[in-house]
């Protein structure tokens, strides 16, 4: 009899526990049904606010006005001008040949977003220095001492005086190009990118965004090497 009573009590306790667990799960499920739509709605609102904020910042982004990355153009011993991304060249902008150690300057104020070495498909090493100007515009200078030796580019990296995250002012030194003596074409490459709202990057020549003084300097420099600086296919 006692054993039967104990088994009955255990069964009732088990049934009670199952009912409690079932009720507890149902309560959680009902609460989640109420909470999840609110969470989703909040995420949508926050996402919309973020997108709207970026769109406003993008639309208000001022068109840049550049100085030149070199203060003394007498040190330039050659120029290449790349006008259009439909050409066989891989980039747009200017190459300034520099045979001796030369200090390079920020043509505009901004935030350093990248200082990185990498090797091109032709085996030559370079160091990319990117300056983010605003939500739409980024400026790019490549330090190319003209070497296929990684140890040489590592030494060049020691002469870059800015780091990722740094704020730079107009005409602040970015570092010194250290050309390999008697190499073919030690130079810096200078270009800009404009970002569309959908994230696509368009490479452009800095010339059209230079100050009048800088445009005149570039025109005179390029003409001295038989080049045309304007980013216009009609002039090619």
Report if residue 65 sits inside a domain: no
User: Is 179 found in the same domain as 147?
Assistant: yes
Is residue 79 domain-resident? yes
Domain co-membership, 51 together with 142: no
Do 185 and 78 share a structural domain? yes
> Which structure tokens are listed for 99?
């045979």
Q: Which CATH number fits the domain that encloses residue 110?
A: 2.70.70.10
Structural domain of 192: 73-235
Say what the pLDDT of residue 50 is: 43
Q: Give the helix/strand (H/E) hosting 190.
A: strand 187-195
Would 66 be classed as within a structural domain? no
Answer yes or no: do 46 and 79 share one domain: no
Distances (CA, A) of 16 to 19, 64, 212: 5, 73, 86
Asked if residue 170 and residue 118 are part of one domain, the reply reads yes
Q: Is residue 67 situated within a structural domain? A: no
Report the C-alpha gap between 227 and 236 in whole angstroms. Answer: 9
> How many domains are there within the chain?
2
Are 157 and 92 members of one domain?
A: yes
Terminal alpha carbon distance of the chain: 109
- The last residue of one of the domains, among 32, 60, 88, is 60
Report pLDDT for 55. Answer: 46
Q: Is 0.85 surpassed by the pTM of this model?
A: no
Structure confidence at residue 51 (pLDDT): 43
Whether residue 99 is found in the same domain as residue 41:
no
One pLDDT digit (tens) per residue for the chain, 236 residues: 544 444 454 555 554 455 545 565 566 556 656 666 666 555 655 554 444 444 444 455 689 999 999 999 999 999 998 865 444 445 789 999 999 999 999 999 999 999 999 999 999 999 999 999 999 999 999 999 999 999 999 999 999 999 999 999 999 999 999 999 999 999 999 999 988 666 677 888 899 899 999 999 999 999 999 888 864 443 33
CA separation for the pair 192, 232 (Å, rounded): 16
**What dihedral angle (degrees, nearest 10) is formed by the CA atoms of 24, 25, 27, 32?**
140
Do residue 184 and residue 79 come from a single domain?
yes
pLDDT of residue 61: 66
Element (H, E) at 46: helix 2-60
């Amino acid at each position: 009899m006692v054993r039967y009573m104990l088994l009955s009590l255990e069964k009732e306790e088990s049934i009670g526990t199952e009912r409690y667990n079932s009720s507890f799960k149902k309560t959680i499920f009902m609460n989640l049904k109420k909470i999840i739509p609110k969470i989703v709605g909040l995420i949508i609102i926050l996402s919309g606010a973020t997108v709207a904020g970026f769109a406003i910042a993008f639309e208000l982004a001022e068109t840049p006005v550049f100085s030149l990355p070199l203060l003394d153009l007498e040190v330039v011993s050659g120029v290449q001008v790349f006008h259009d991304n439909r050409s066989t060249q891989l980039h747009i902008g200017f190459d300034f040949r520099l045979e001796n150690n030369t200090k390079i300057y920020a043509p505009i104020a901004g935030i350093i977003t990248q200082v990185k070495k990498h090797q091109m498909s032709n085996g030559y090493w370079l160091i990319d220095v990117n300056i983010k100007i605003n939500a739409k515009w980024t400026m790019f200078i490549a330090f190319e001492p003209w070497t296929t030796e990684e140890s040489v580019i590592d030494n060049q990296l020691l002469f870059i005086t800015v780091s990722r995250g740094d704020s730079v002012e107009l005409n602040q030194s970015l570092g010194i190009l250290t050309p390999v003596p008697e190499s073919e074409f030690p130079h810096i490459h200078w270009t800009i990118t404009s970002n569309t709202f959908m994230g696509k990057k368009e490479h452009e020549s800095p010339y059209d965004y230079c100050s009048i003084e800088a445009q005149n300097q570039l025109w005179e420099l390029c003409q001295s090497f038989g080049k045309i600086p304007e980013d216009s296919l009609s002039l090619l």
